[in-house]
């Protein structure tokens, strides 16, 4: 166990170990202590000891959140040693894994067991606990976010007790699915999975208005439909998107959409520049460089196209320097109290700013637009919500806060960022 003295800690481990920075480099903290427990018992001991000594506690995960959600000046934990598959229920198609298991490793283990995740996002290097409890999603008109597949979890309480959450505790389950770690540290998760499947992915380029005309049909007829709208020819390079000029239905290179559809298939594997068939978890991921800072809101489906047009208009007319693509994806509603998709089918619309530039005016303008259409933020992406905003746009926010206070009355799992939102 590390010492409680920040000075002694720095002497023992060095200042570089006291300082932590996230994947994108836009969030950092000086932590008093760090811990990497190798067992659940050790995790419980670290937490209870930190609580006794008045330290706040947060888990870093893989650091893929753009918000300060993982920051603390107290005890900073990594659960990378608490990873791997713990149990497989082949009959019920449920798999239990340690919270530090990455999405990538989880997918590989499922493939070996003959299963697939029901849905998945386009980055797979996050820890499953961090990805799921911040509201991470894939895309699909009928597919919920990743957390909607959680059927059980263990929550470590500030005194080291373990609460087992499952379908026999429905309120705790719906509150814990997207909880940002403020109800307790997730030590393991049990997820509903499905029989192994392969996906057929196709990508192409098309004019914006043409995609808008086909919008409803593409969403209805494909398991996954998403696109990146690129205002300039340079836009696709910001996210390292492939050159789809050879599969374009237009001669334009500006104001175009890089479109992707994916469907389950029995066809044999193949891979070309614009088409791929492979096991589900091998098709989902995109290779990103940490060269962007992202804001994303889930807008009710009924307002999605109108909201997209409004953001596109402000980018073209008011912020021509904002050339990062808009990403546009579908997600079905769910019952998690603090989910961006709580009881509303949605489209997520995301924009990004370039690191090292003053992008805040642009992000605030987009934030105002998307919130005007009833949007709720992805908790791992940049946003400007206040505590009053949370109460206004999340119908179960009052219940969530009351439960948080019951489980953690001293706010051990809160932080400077989280306290105004959930105190």
- pLDDT at 52 > cutoff 80: yes
- pLDDT at 180 > cutoff 80: yes
Structure pTM? 0.94
Q: What is the mean pLDDT of residues 151-176?
A: 98
Q: What is the mean pLDDT of residues 125-133?
A: 96
Q: What is the mean pLDDT of residues 259-269?
A: 98
- pLDDT at 9 > cutoff 80: no
- Assign 287 a pLDDT band (cuts: 50, 70, 90): confident
- pLDDT at 353 > cutoff 60: yes
pLDDT of residue 7: 35
Q: Could you say which DSSP state residue 382 is in? A: B
Q: Which residue has the higher pLDDT, 6 or 228?
A: 228
Question: Could you give the percent of the chain with pLDDT greater than 90?
Answer: 96
- Assign 381 a pLDDT band (cuts: 50, 70, 90): very high
Buried b (16+ CB within 10 A) or exposed e, 210-242: ebeeebeebbeebbbbbbbbbbbeebbebbebe
Give Cα separations from 32 to 182, 211, 326, 415 (angstroms): 19, 51, 38, 14
User: Which two tokens mark 372?
Assistant: 């005007």
User: pLDDT averaged over the chain?
Assistant: 95
Q: Which residues contact 309 (CB under 8 A, 6 or more apart)?
A: none
54-94 tens-digit pLDDT: 999 999 989 999 999 999 999 999 999 999 999 999 999 99
- pLDDT at 46 > cutoff 90: yes
- pLDDT at 11 > cutoff 80: no
Q: Could you say which DSSP state residue 160 is in? A: S
- pLDDT at 16 > cutoff 70: no
- pLDDT at 362 > cutoff 80: yes
Residue 197's region, left for phi above 0, alpha for psi from -120 to 50, else beta, is beta
Q: What is the mean pLDDT of residues 337-358?
A: 98
- Which has the closest alpha carbon to 159: 35, 3, 37, 52? 52
pLDDT of residue 249: 94
In the chain, what are the domains?
Answer: 8-196 (3.30.465.10), 198-387 (3.30.70.2520)
Instruction: Find the range with the poorest average confidence among 5-14, 198-207, 220-229, 312-321.
Output: 5-14
Q: Distance (Å, rounded) from C-alpha 103 to C-alpha 126? A: 6
User: Which two tokens mark 253?
Assistant: 């290179």
Which H helix or E strand runs over 28?
strand 28-30
Give Cα separations from 218 to 141, 225, 227, 236 (angstroms): 10, 6, 11, 22
**In the block, residue with structure tokens 């298991």:** 101
Q: What is the mean pLDDT of residues 107-119?
A: 98
């Amino acid at each position: 166990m590390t010492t409680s003295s920040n000075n002694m800690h720095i002497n023992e481990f060095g200042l570089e170990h006291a300082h932590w920075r996230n994947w994108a480099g836009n969030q950092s903290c000086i932590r008093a202590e760090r811990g990497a427990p190798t067992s659940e018992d050790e995790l419980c001991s670290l937490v209870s000891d930190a609580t006794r000594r008045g330290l706040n506690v947060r888990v870093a995960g893989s650091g893929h959140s753009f918000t300060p959600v993982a920051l603390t000046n107290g005890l900073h934990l990594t659960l990378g040693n608490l990873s791997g598959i713990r149990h497989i229920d082949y009959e019920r198609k449920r798999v239990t894994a340690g919270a530090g298991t990455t999405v990538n490793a989880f997918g590989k283990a499922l493939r070996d067991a003959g299963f697939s995740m029901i849905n998945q996002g386009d980055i797979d290097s996050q820890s499953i606990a961090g990805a799921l409890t911040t509201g991470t999603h894939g895309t699909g008109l009928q597919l919920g976010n990743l957390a909607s597949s959680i059927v059980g979890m263990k929550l470590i309480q500030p005194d080291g007790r373990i609460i087992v959450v499952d379908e026999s505790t429905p309120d705790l389950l719906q509150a814990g699915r997207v909880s940002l770690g403020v109800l307790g540290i997730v030590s393991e998760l049990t997820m509903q999975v499905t029989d192994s499947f392969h996906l057929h992915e196709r990508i192409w380029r098309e004019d914006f208005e043409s995609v808008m005309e086909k919008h409803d049909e593409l969403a209805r007829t494909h398991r996954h439909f998403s696109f990146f709208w690129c205002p300039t020819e340079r836009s696709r390079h910001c996210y390292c998107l492939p050159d789809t000029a050879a599969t374009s239905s237009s001669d334009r290179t500006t104001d175009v959409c890089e479109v992707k559809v994916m469907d389950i298939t029995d066809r044999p594997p193949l891979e070309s520049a614009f088409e791929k068939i492979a096991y589900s978890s091998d098709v989902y991921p995109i290779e990103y460089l940490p060269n962007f800072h992202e804001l994303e809101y889930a807008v009710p489906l009924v307002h999605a196209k109108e909201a997209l047009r409004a953001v596109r208009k402000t980018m073209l007319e008011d912020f021509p320097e904002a050339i990062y693509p808009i990403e546009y994806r579908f997600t079905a509603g769910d019952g998690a109290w603090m989910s961006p998709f709580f009881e509303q089918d949605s489209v997520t619309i995301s924009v990004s700013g370039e690191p090292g530039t003053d992008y805040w005016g642009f992000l605030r303008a987009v934030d105002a637009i998307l919130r005007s259409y009833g949007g709720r933020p992805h908790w791992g992406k940049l946003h400007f919500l206040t505590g009053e905003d949370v109460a206004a746009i999340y119908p179960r926010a009052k219940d969530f806060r009351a439960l948080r206070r019951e489980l953690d009355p001293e706010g051990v799992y809160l932080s400077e960022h989280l306290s105004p939102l959930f105190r």
